Structure 1
Amino acid sequence: MMKIATAQLWVLDQQEALDFYTKKVGLEVRSDVTMPEMGDFRWLTVGPAGQEDVAIVLMAIPGEPVLDADTGAQLRELTAKGATGTIFLTTEDIDTEYAELGARGIEFTQPLTDMPYGRDFAFQDPSGNNVRVAQLAPM
């Protein structure tokens, strides 16, 4: 049986993304490894406490030879517009999460809202990626 281990978000600045996801969102560092033999490629992952088998890769947008200059520029522009990534998080106490994230300086793109599937809110990370947090209604 296969399982999801990691999902990736493109980020414009890995250190800024790391600070945002750990200090404001409250995720934990899973790995932070720089590989000199691969041109100082940095493998940086974060994840929620208590869910150690899942991580989000905060992936820097690469240059050549992986991406040519034009493609890299297009990807940076699309990422900044919020067009390249969304993560969906769930919680059992959405009111507390909303209040705590707001107190840590998160600027919401959608306030806490009742939806057909439960209640949720949204914000963007510094790179433009969308984050949605939901408390799902009982089924």
Structure 2
Amino acid sequence: MQTPTNLDFVSIQVLDMKKSEDFYMNTLGFKKGFAPNPHAIVFETGAGSIFAIRTPLVDLQHITEKGVGISIWFKVPDADALFQKLQEEGIPIIKPIEDGPFGRVFMLKDPDGYAITIHGGN
């Protein structure tokens, strides 16, 4: 039996590609990478894994809570600094910053309502 050994990429479906591209590049600071699929935008995370957004494969208009049961975590060098920046920009914060098992941690919502966890752990 073949066992998966590496998370290759995570992709979420979004309603407005331009709005989500702007959020992930200009708000969270991601860099755009190569995307062989014309319906997707790929971001390099610097950790080997890839994060992508893509046009919907299902009718997202009628899904009120996107990604329920899925946790997307991104590590940053300074979670407190990013938390402060996002608060100043009015980004919806779901859970304020606190100490957690992986360092300082908080949760936000992206433009489509996906919950994103940011942590500053080692």
Structure 1 length-normalised TM: 0.69
RMSD, aligned CA: 2.5
> Where does the alignment leave 5 or more consecutive residues of structure 2 unmatched?
none
TM score, norm. by length of structure 2: 0.77
Is 1:125 matched up with 2:107?
Answer: no
Alignment of 1:59-138 (within 5 A): 59-62=54-57, 72-73=58-59, 75-78=60-63, 80-84=64-68, 85-136=70-121
Aligned-partner residue type, residue 55 of structure 2 = A
Report the Cα offset of residue 7 of structure 1.
0.8
Query: Structure 1 segments of 4 or more deviating over 4 A?
Result: 32-35
Secondary structure of the 1:113 match is strand
Larger helix proportion, structure 1 or 2?
Answer: 1
Cα distance in 1 for residues equivalent to 2:88 and 2:30 = 16
Equivalent pairs counted in the alignment come to: 118
Of all paired residues, the percent bearing the same amino acid is: 19
Which stretches in structure 1 are left out of the alignment for 5+ residues?
36-41, 63-71
Larger relative strand fraction: 1
Name the amino acid aligned to 2:43. Answer: V
Higher-Rg structure is 1
